[in-house]
Amino acid sequence: MSEVVHTPQLRFPEFSGAWNTHSIGKIGTFFSGGTPTSSNKDYYSGTIPFIGSGKISSESVKQHITQEALDSSSAKIVNEGDLLYALYGATSGAVALSKINGAINQAVLCIRTNENKFFLKTWLEKNKERILGTYLQGGQGNLSAQIVKSLKLNLPTKPEQQKIAAFLTVVDNKIEQLSKKQELLGEYKKGLMQQIFSQAIRFQADDGSTFPDWEEQKVGSFMVERNKKSPKSEAYPLMSFVARKGVTEKGERYNREFLVNDEGGKKYKQTEYGDFIYSSNNLETGSIGLNKYGAATISPVYSIFQITDTCNYEFVSSSLVTKIFIHKMVRFRQGVVYGQWRIHESDFLKIQVELPSLEEQTKIASFLSSIDSKIEQLSKKQALLGEYKKGLMQQIFSQAIRFKADDGSDFPNWEEKKLGDILDYEQPTNYIVDSTEYDNSFDMPVLTAGKSFILGYTNETHKVFENIPVIIFDDFTTANKYVDFPFKVKSSAMKILKPKDSFVNIRLIFEFIQMLNFPIGEHKRYWISEYQDLKIPFPSFEEQTKIASFLSSIDNKIEQVGKQLDESKQFKKALLQQMFV
């Protein structure tokens, strides 16, 4: 029997009356599949697409099975348009309308209903965080058909379902159109840059005349080494040179100055705005580029060069950070141990590079700057969203903003609890990688709680931490990350924090930890000695879930902008690779 619930706050005007509450199990039929035995390789040489939980929204899959495999196993056939729900795995809680006919395994639930499938899909998407937070706290267990059937949803009449679904479909289509437009523009630009790279297309002067041919020159013809050293000072503050960021204040990364005794006036290398800098050891990870900060001192391990006024310094910088040029540099690298590699400045200055005229350099640099402007706009948008979330968190943390229950009633007052009373910890020793030979073609991420987060990917599949979600906590710096996917680690210098019981929403506790102001002093392990005794406000589990779901929606928006930013950066990177010889 259904029960009356509140009507939605936003509604199409032609509809009225309350929505009714139903168990999903009462409005459809459900089945999962199975997996043919992997020992029979012939089973996997067929033509029936085999859809796993990570491929429920894909238009194609790599794995196919035979009819014999289907008949001899619990695998089940689904049709294009069927509603598919991922029960477990890294994509647990994902939902999609199948784009293909195929067979599903035991990690996928097929839902067939006479209600509007798109409406039900949207409801499951909207409530994903709440469902996972309720049934998979601490990573225990899996979702199941019984759990999905027991879920309660509020259903309008079928005409209103269809109206809502049609509206949301228009929104989805618009997003898809924009994505395709972006993809097509990207392909167009890629083709255009291939022609620029081959000089089939050339920039022209403002008067329409053709620029001279590109000429091969030694780097030393337009750069001179800057090797002046001095102690840090107010005019030349001590800075870091950070991969892909350039000269940066030390506050933006782990600051080790308290470990250094500068009483003897230790000398560092001086650098000025527009200098070109590289690290012999970290070229491939982006430690090469311009000083866009200004006068500073940096570690003597870096090589620094002044770009003469015979070249456009932005063009030169762009041309010398491409894979092609870095490959030329690596040929001159001496030493056999990482950390002791060296590309001598004299060898760097001998490298040959093709350069256009100064006027054409300026044209190309201006074109690339327009792409940088787009990237900067996205960065600012991402930063603003981050500040918006930070402001909301401050108000939630102080309880200036409170959520209400679904029936409009107030949640209970918050308690104050120590982190150690709500979180357990586990040492990561069992999950340390055997080898640090990482490769992006491997599947398993290796994590650190620091800024880099994912150090790389390993092919090791034994002793993987899978009891997710958790917080990884650097015991020495207190840096921490929320993790909701299986992983391995590099060292034991962290703790893996887990909920002590099922009434702790680990995602919300992570967000609350970000609001703590904890000064770092001496070099020691902090969790047991101090951090676990810090107190945070602690709402009821129901309000925790509400807050976590709300914050996740903001995080999703920030992530979308982040992806746009990454795509813009990749676009520029592709241009650079193709524009320079």
The pLDDT tens digits of the residues spanning 375-422 come to 666 556 656 666 766 666 566 656 676 767 777 777 788 888 999 999
How crowded is residue 535: how many other Cβ atoms within 10 Å of its Cβ?
Answer: 13
For 95, which DSSP code?
E
Structure confidence at residue 108 (pLDDT): 95
Indicate if the pLDDT at residue 472 is higher than 90: yes
Please give the single-letter amino acid code of residue 424. Answer: D
Is residue 58 helix, strand or coil? Answer: coil
pLDDT in tens, 232-252: 999 999 998 888 788 988 753
Structure confidence at residue 572 (pLDDT): 52
Kindly report whether the peptide bond that precedes residue 356 is cis, defined as omega within 30 degrees of 0. Answer: no
In contact, 446 and 489? CB cutoff 8 Å: yes
Rounded CA gap, 515 and 536, in Å? 9
CA 58 to chain centre: 21
For 211, which DSSP code?
P
Indicate if the pLDDT at residue 15 is higher than 90: no
Indicate if the pLDDT at residue 37 is higher than 60: yes
Indicate if the pLDDT at residue 181 is higher than 80: no
pLDDT in tens, 427-450: 999 999 999 888 888 889 999 988
More confident call, 420 vs 178? 420
For 284, which DSSP code?
G
More confident call, 85 vs 253? 85
Structure confidence at residue 186 (pLDDT): 47
Average pLDDT rounded to a whole number, residues 126-151: 80
Q: How confident is the model at residue 571 (pLDDT cuts 50, 70, 90)?
A: low
Indicate if the pLDDT at residue 51 is higher than 90: yes
Structure confidence at residue 383 (pLDDT): 63
How crowded is residue 206: how many other Cβ atoms within 10 Å of its Cβ?
Answer: 7
Structure confidence at residue 203 (pLDDT): 75
Q: Which residues contact 510 (CB under 8 A, 6 or more apart)?
A: 471, 480, 482
Rounded CA gap, 224 and 227, in Å? 10
What is the full DSSP assignment across 400-457?
SS--B-TTSPBPPPPEEEEHHHHEEEE--GGGB-S-----TTS-EEEE-SSTT-EEEE
Domain 20-156 identical in fold to domain 385-564: yes
- Rg of the Cα trace of the chain? 29
Phi, psi of 32 (to 5 degrees): -115, 170
Indicate if the pLDDT at residue 2 is higher than 50: no
In contact, 19 and 156? CB cutoff 8 Å: yes
Query: For helices 358-397 and 541-579, what crossing angle results, to 10°?
Result: 180
**What residues pair up with 248 in beta bridges, in sequence order?**
240
Structure confidence at residue 440 (pLDDT): 82
Q: Is domain 385-564 in CATH 3.90.220.20, yes or no?
A: yes
Q: Is domain 20-156 in CATH 3.40.50.1100, yes or no?
A: no
What would the CATH number be for the domain defined by 222-353?
Answer: 3.90.220
Positive or negative, the CA dihedral 232, 234, 235, 237 is: positive
Average pLDDT score over the chain = 81
In contact, 431 and 487? CB cutoff 8 Å: yes
Q: How confident is the model at residue 512 (pLDDT cuts 50, 70, 90)?
A: confident
Indicate if the pLDDT at residue 348 is higher than 50: yes
Structure confidence at residue 64 (pLDDT): 94
Element (DSSP H or E) covering residue 277: strand 276-278
Average pLDDT rounded to a whole number, residues 173-200: 53
**What residues pair up with 400 in beta bridges, in sequence order?**
none
| Least reliable range by pLDDT among 12-16, 72-76, 565-569 | 565-569
Domain ranges for the chain, please list them: 20-156, 222-353, 385-564
Which CB contacts under 8 angstroms, 24+ apart, belong to 404-411? 405/542, 406/5, 406/6, 407/6, 408/6, 411/539, 411/540, 411/542, 411/543
Rounded CA gap, 393 and 557, in Å? 16
